Structure 1
Amino acid sequence: MSSATPTPQDSGLPPPAAPNKTSPLVASSSSSSINTSESRPTILHLGDDIRWNHELYVELGKKFKIERTYSMGREEFKQALKEKRWGDFVGMYRPFWNTGGEMGNWDKELISLLPPSCKIYASAGAGFDWVDTRTLAAHGTIYCNSASACTESVADAAIVLILSCYRAIPWSFLAARSCSPAQFQDANQNIAAVTHNPNGSVLGIVGLGRIGKRIAEKASRAFEMRVVYHDVVRMEERERELELGGEAWCASLDELLGKSDCVVLATPFAGETLLSTREFGQFKRGARLVNIARGKLVDEEALNRALDEGVVSAAGLDVHADEPRVDARIAERRNVMVLCHTAGASVESHIGFERLGMENLLGWLEKGEKGVISPVNLQWLKRE
């Protein structure tokens, strides 16, 4: 997701406090008003200062001794861990997706340097393809994401991309922005022959988690689309909540692709490409593709071929395989809407990321793993 966010004035919310690197709540020194540092377990706050949830951060500082890393790079961070600079810290907190990650991917090399005492990592953002959650679990560390905080923003962006695919919004937008009368007239006169309303068409959602569910709600209720879905397990209770009907579940990805007029990817990246040449061969001819999940789920060369051949008639991509680089052949197409991984970028998402991370840490301190709100690796967790 992009580092750009709306201003507080745009959102109608109070402005964030100015950074304060000398605050007793973010320094390692003790304060009698918060309890002595010796009585509090230590956590690492990775990256920038808190911007929104200041009262909750005060509460966090009463329960934990908070150490700061700011924008520490990977090698310096590794050396600090080797030197045990922060002692036996129990957790880590990363409140923003675009800061505090300067140490790069959380792989075996990095995780092996964590102290055995580190039991929880609470981080912003929905995706976690940059962190080896299984290795963290083997280390005994619970990883918590913040997917629920950006659900509304991502689902809204998915709807924008769906509509852009059906109504050729990129073509119209680019023609108007060109300020060329010829391009304007071309779009004005010819778009109607190739665009459609989404009403009544089949929306196939890959991944019916929180975000997938919210996309289904918006698309089915506002645009009267018929939703089908594929996931690793059937979600019958969610089907009933969404009033999808008994034919909504697709036991295989191929089944979903064959039924869908528009395919939306809303599933985590598990290390393997999901859509490549074989899968595009299962698409209805002229179907559309929207990706608000992870760029590496799609083989972009295969997508280019599918677009060239008309197998895929339009695409809406918030994410890309080699970010921050965007495939030039994809980006120049007037039937493709491309964004800068900003689907979840909103003030409300930022506020939620901050808050949920702290709530995970406070819940863990009170109740252990039963107190965490959004863990993603408990199924592999090594317990003492």
Structure 2
Amino acid sequence: MKGLSSEQVLQEKQTTDSNAVASLTFTHRALSDVSCLAEFKKLERLDLTFNNLSSLEGLKPCVNLKWLSVKQNKLRSLKGIEGCVSLTVLNAGSNMIQSMDEVSNLVRLRALILNDNQITSICRLDKMKELNTIVLSKNPISKIGESLSKVKSITKLSLSNCKIQDIDSSLKSCTELKELRLAHNEIRTLPSELTRNTKIQNLDLGNNLIMRWSDLKILSSLVNLKNLNVAGNPVAEKDSLAKKIKKLVPGLQIFNAKPIDKAMKSVTVDADENLLVDARDNDNKKGQNVKEDKSIIPIKEDNEENTTITDSVSEKKPKRKSRGLKDEPVTEEEGIKKSKKIKFDEEKVHVDATEKNENRNKTRVDNDGNNNNDDIIVGKKKKKVKSKTRGSSAVQLLASDAQIGLGGESAWDR
């Protein structure tokens, strides 16, 4: 058992006045007793992450404490925390806590983070009029119930990796909700009451049991929705889902962790035409280039010569192209061989022409400033800039960090 002493605290802060200590950080110290902190009446911020604490009773006298992190300890209970009546941020994630009832009287609390524990039910949070963030992911919670019915100030709620089967009307009063994470649960449908949560911007429903398209139609009421995840649900296996979702929620930017445009179809840049084309049409595009590119030897006459189609005009012209074959009969076997040779020559010429175009694109402007490749080079640069501009807002959504009360940035636990 390793306890923290007042002398250690004063030495750490290089002072002899306990009232001068407002903030302390003692992480990774294997501490199991911090009862000496009761002497520090002005203490407002305390970080005890990664220690061996099994009780918070020693913090009960810390009535001025506003910010507390005791995550990654050995806590089985929050007893003692009820004395910290000034708390605005509490992070007790990654412990073995079985009940959260002790927090119900912390009326000033703004952020409550209790992920990775053994909590089975959410206590009533009616008295917390300023609570805006709740993280209860990775707890065996089966239902939300009426615990949030009077918490109208909440903007961020995470209940991922729980055992929730139904949302029901549990969120109807959370009209300020902007981020809702319910991934890895057993949810089969979305309630009609979700229409009241019109401010939701980020919604994670990944890896649930939603099967039907009709179960997602309620999302049309979420007019501010920017980021949606339904990957891992049976309904997500349908190829046309992204297009349907886009019509349902026109303002959506991120779908299943990808920009919505990329989720709808894969696109590539055609270097020859400097156009965005569907990846599925690449082969067709190349086939058209064979016919249209003047640098490729036309094969019309040879193809006609190897077929049974007769034409009075075409019979007169092929004499220049095939002098040794003009009067010789062609067997079926020879026709097949010639057809394969023509196809091989066509592909070889097309590849050579493509390589020449690429080599020309790499050259710099001539001395007289007249370079035929200027348009291609400029086109590529414009394309890069355009794609960055179009995807910037989507990238910001993917990279944004959630603000946790007054505790600064925090990575959302999924």
Q: Normalized against structure 1, the TM-score is what?
A: 0.31
- Structure scoring higher RCO (CA < 8 A, sep ≥ 6) equals 1
Larger radius of gyration: 2
Q: Normalized against structure 2, the TM-score is what?
A: 0.29
Greater share of helix: 1
